[in-house]
Amino acid sequence: GNSVTQMEGPVTLSEEAFLTINCTYTATGYPSLFWYVQYPGEGLQLLLKATKADDKGSNKGFEATYRKETTSFHLEKGSVQVSDSAVYFCALSVQNSGYALNFGKGTSLLVTP
Amino acid sequence: DAGVIQSPRHEVTEMGQEVTLRCKPISGHNSLFWYRQTMMRGLELLIYFNNNVPIDDSGMPEDRFSAKMPNASFSTLKIQPSEPRDSAVYFCASSLGVWQTETQYFGPGTRLLVL
């Protein structure tokens, strides 16, 4: 089947620290990979995506590289800000699942001043 | 663009009552998705539509749940009768089409509490 595993949270970092949130996947087929972010009280919004192996998605200082050999799509940011505090979801979409998104459990990030 | 609109934002009801959640997708989007978010199970797809036609409802928990999309600009998710275990945040999302690479745009969600 198709599934996404991401690191458990919460993750607490000081402002300007380096962030890594691990995400690995299992898919029957060739998936597209996504990171969505959910700010408190809001719906999810796309942060970045990658649709083929070795692609790097990037947005707002965040980046993630589609690694087919390790089935991973880790999210990184060099210097986090308080405003990055949110829940981050890794997700995949693959044709044999009808293109619906399979989400990980989410990782809560808290950035302190 | 106003984005995906959901109503109500919050709903508190008693067990056994009917609950109707509403969604207006982004204009021009052909696909609409209903998700449920709980602490225990995370985000789960309930059903999705393409061009107003239900494509996959395998995630709908049971017969108490039903969803309709009478036109391209409106969808409802109904729970009848509601139970406390239905308490969750329900999200509607829309996308241009049903493609593997498509971005889904989420509404703000409806927070449902069934007492």
Other beta carbons within 10 angstroms of residue B1's beta carbon come to 7
B36 contacts in A (CB within 8 Å)?
A: none
- Picking from B4, B48, B107, the nearest residue to A100 by CB comes out as B48
pLDDT at B20: 98
- If pLDDT is split at 50, 70 and 90, which confidence band does B107 have? very high
Query: A31 — contact with chain B (CB < 8 Å)?
Result: yes
The tokens of B8 are what? 């109500």
pLDDT at A29: 84
Environment class of residue B73 by beta-carbon count within 10 Å: exposed (0-12), middle (13-18) or buried (19+)? middle
Q: For A62-84, b where at least 16 C-beta lie within 10 A, e where not — what string?
A: bbbbbbeeebbbbbebeebeeeb
B33 contacts in A (CB within 8 Å)?
A: 100-101
Environment class of residue A50 by beta-carbon count within 10 Å: exposed (0-12), middle (13-18) or buried (19+)? buried
Query: pLDDT, tens digit, for every residue of B22-79?
Result: 999 999 999 999 999 998 888 999 999 999 999 889 889 888 999 999 999 999 999 9
pLDDT at A98: 63
Task: Give, for all 113 residues of chain A, the pLDDT tens digit.
Answer: 889 999 888 999 999 999 999 999 999 888 999 999 999 888 899 999 999 999 999 999 999 999 999 999 999 999 999 999 999 999 998 876 566 788 999 999 999 99
> Distance of alpha carbon B36 from its chain centroid, rounded?
7
Question: Distance between CA atoms of A99 and B48, rounded to whole angstroms?
Answer: 10
Q: Sheet of B65-71: strands edge to edge?
A: B5-7, B19-24, B74-79, B65-71
Cross-chain Cβ contact B103/A49 below 8 Å: yes
Please give the torsion angle defined by the CA atoms of residues B9, B14, B15 and B19, in that order, rounded to the nearest 10 degrees: -40
For residue B100, pLDDT over 80 is answered with: no
pLDDT at A37: 96
Cross-chain Cβ contact A46/B104 below 8 Å: yes
